[in-house]
Amino acid sequence: MISRIFRQTRSFSSTNALPSGHNKWSKIRHHKGAADKARSKVFAKMALDISAAVKLGGGATDPALNARLSNALAKARSLSVPKDNIEAAIKRGDAGAVDKGHSVTYEALLADVGLIIECQTANVTRCNHSVKTILAKHGGRMASCGYLFSRKGVINLELQDSASFDTLFEDSIDAGGEDIVQKDHNLVEIITDPSQLTRVAESLIEKGYTLSSYDLAYIPVSGERQEIDDEIRETLTNLIDTLEEDSDAVDVHTNSTL
52 within domain boundaries:
yes
CATH number at residue 104: 3.30.70.980
CATH number for position 82? 1.10.10.200
pLDDT in tens, 57-100: 778 889 888 888 888 888 888 778 899 989 988 888 877 655 55
Question: 181: domain range?
Answer: 148-218
Over residues 38-58, the mean pLDDT reads: 78
DSSP secondary structure code for residue 227 in this structure: P
Q: Which long-range contacts (CB under 8 A, 24 or more apart) does 34-43 make?
A: 42/79, 42/81, 43/79, 43/81, 43/82, 43/85
Residues 189 and 232 in one domain: no
Question: Between the CA atoms of 95, 96, 98 and 101, what dihedral angle is there, to the nearest 10 degrees?
Answer: -170
Q: Per residue in 200-221, pLDDT tens?
A: 988 998 898 888 778 888 999 9
Rounded Cα distance, 123 and 18, in Å: 56
pTM above 0.85, yes or no: no
Give the pLDDT of residue 127: 92
Structural domain count of the chain: 3
- Crossing angle (nearest 10°) for helices 20-56 and 67-78: 170
DSSP states along 122-185: S-HHHHHHHHHHHHHHTTEEE---GGGEEEEEEEEEE--TTS-HHHHHHHHHHHTEEEEEEEET
How much is the pLDDT for 89? Answer: 87
Residue 98 confidence (pLDDT): 53
- Give the residues across from 140 on adjacent strands: 110
Confirm whether 240 is domain-assigned. yes
Q: Report phi then psi at 4, rounded to 5.
A: -125, 140
